[in-house]
Amino acid sequence: MAREGERYVPRRVLVTGGAGFIASHVVDRLLERRETREVTILDAFERSACARNVTDDARCSVVAGDVRDGALVREILRVKAIDTVLHFAAETHVDASFGNSLAFTETNVIGTHVALEAARRCGTIERFVHVSTDEVYGETLVDGGSEGTSVLAPTNPYSASKAAAEMLVVAYGTSYNLPYVITRGNNVYGPRQYPEKVIPKFIHLLRRGARVPIHGDGLALRGYMHVRDAAAAFDVVLRAGENKSIYNIGAREERTVVSVARDLCAIFNRNPEEFLEYVEDRAFNDRRYFVDSSKLEELGWRQEIEWDVGLRETVDWYHRAIDERYWGDVEPALQAHPTHPPTHSPPTRRSLDAAAAAAADADAAADAAV
């Protein structure tokens, strides 16, 4: 493990949920570096994950399986000689958590516990990065959520499950000295995001000439960050973050949902007075999430992609993705209040018979490149 003041160098990385939106971009960034010998993705490929998100880099391998399967996770850690875990696997959509909250506990709490226990038993994990959310702070009506001083006050089943998962991570760090870093990020947008989230949902609807649903009065404030900036933040936290620390990953500016919808209407040349449809609000909708990212910025990270540039790039990407039916049928995700049915089945084992050979091949390739 890197000593204080040194940069950590991950070499064999397990990314849970690695076929998802943000995680797939983080995988891409990991593989831009020659010292990354192998990245293993563990993903259940449920709904928002997509095989098309996964790089074709020879150093990346994919295991289709469930993070709740402890035997499988332990086998991956052992056979692949993993030194770093990036734990992205989670149920993340707030709307869906109101209608199917137990699935969020199963994946976000139990799945995290299983991953932590596997890492503890493995004994070779040098860094466990747990991906959480700014929503664990609850409403931040005055000041931005702070890693060191803000009390966790989640207000919906999703954020409660993520807060519970954080407590497990901290407990494993205290009880077993498992090296960890926790991130709490705000809203992220960009290519590959499943259209249950607000920006890709609005893009899909406006493109077909349909009205976009605005929850309540639409004045809830959120920070929005382009996924490349988010991936850069994870890279900095992974390599320079202090052990047993928490880092906020937040955008500089806040925007209301209505202003986001209006900006997208302008890109599509739609009249917002005609294309905004105000609908019933969520069971509870925090008025403001905002976090202070100064601790992360002290490590050298900066948000670089401007809103207008990132939004137009995202729209361009979705034009192509929609034409190609990137995810197949997304109609359920485009509803005003999507509450997808439970998709969880009992976790199943997947064979890793060829994993040792693949790891050896990756070693040989890395050694040859030096």
Active site residue 158: yes
The identity of residue 111, as a single letter, is G
Does the pLDDT at position 287 exceed 80? no
β partners of residue 131 = 183
Least confident of 153-162, 266-275, 352-361: 352-361
Does the pLDDT at position 290 exceed 80? no
**Which pLDDT value is given to residue 46?**
86
Domain ranges of the chain: 12-338
Does the pLDDT at position 170 exceed 70? yes
Asked if residue 220 lies in contact with residue 288, where contact means CB atoms within 8 angstroms, the answer is yes
Question: Taken in order 138, 165, 327, 80, is the CA torsion positive or negative?
Answer: positive
Asked if residue 50 lies in contact with residue 41, where contact means CB atoms within 8 angstroms, the answer is no
Asked if residue 229 lies in contact with residue 194, where contact means CB atoms within 8 angstroms, the answer is no
**Which pLDDT value is given to residue 303?**
97
**Which pLDDT value is given to residue 95?**
66
Least confident of 3-12, 122-131, 247-256, 272-281: 3-12
Identify the band that residue 288 occupies on the pLDDT scale cut at 50, 70 and 90.
Answer: confident
Which residue in the list 43, 83, 135, 196 is annotated as catalytic? 135
CATH superfamily of 12-338: NAD(P)-binding Rossmann-like Domain (3.40.50.720)
DSSP string, 147-171: TTTPPP---SHHHHHHHHHHHHHHH
Does the pLDDT at position 250 exceed 70? yes
Which residue in the list 95, 134, 147, 166 is annotated as catalytic? 134
Quick one: average pLDDT of 161-190? Answer: 97
**Which pLDDT value is given to residue 346?**
43
- Rounded to whole angstroms, the Cα distance separating 69 from 361 reads 26
Q: Is the pTM of this model over 0.85?
A: yes
**DSSP strand pairing (254-256 vs 221-226):** antiparallel
Return all residues near 316 (Cβ < 8 A) that are at least 6 apart: none
Helix (H, G, I), strand (E, B) or coil at 181: strand
In terms of Cα–Cα distance, which of 195, 193, 168, 133 is closest to 340?
195
Active site residue 135: yes
Active site residue 134: yes
Quick one: average pLDDT of 221-237? Answer: 96
Identify the band that residue 349 occupies on the pLDDT scale cut at 50, 70 and 90.
Answer: very low
Helix (H, G, I), strand (E, B) or coil at 145: strand
Which residue in the list 8, 75, 91, 158 is annotated as catalytic? 158
Asked if residue 183 lies in contact with residue 247, where contact means CB atoms within 8 angstroms, the answer is yes
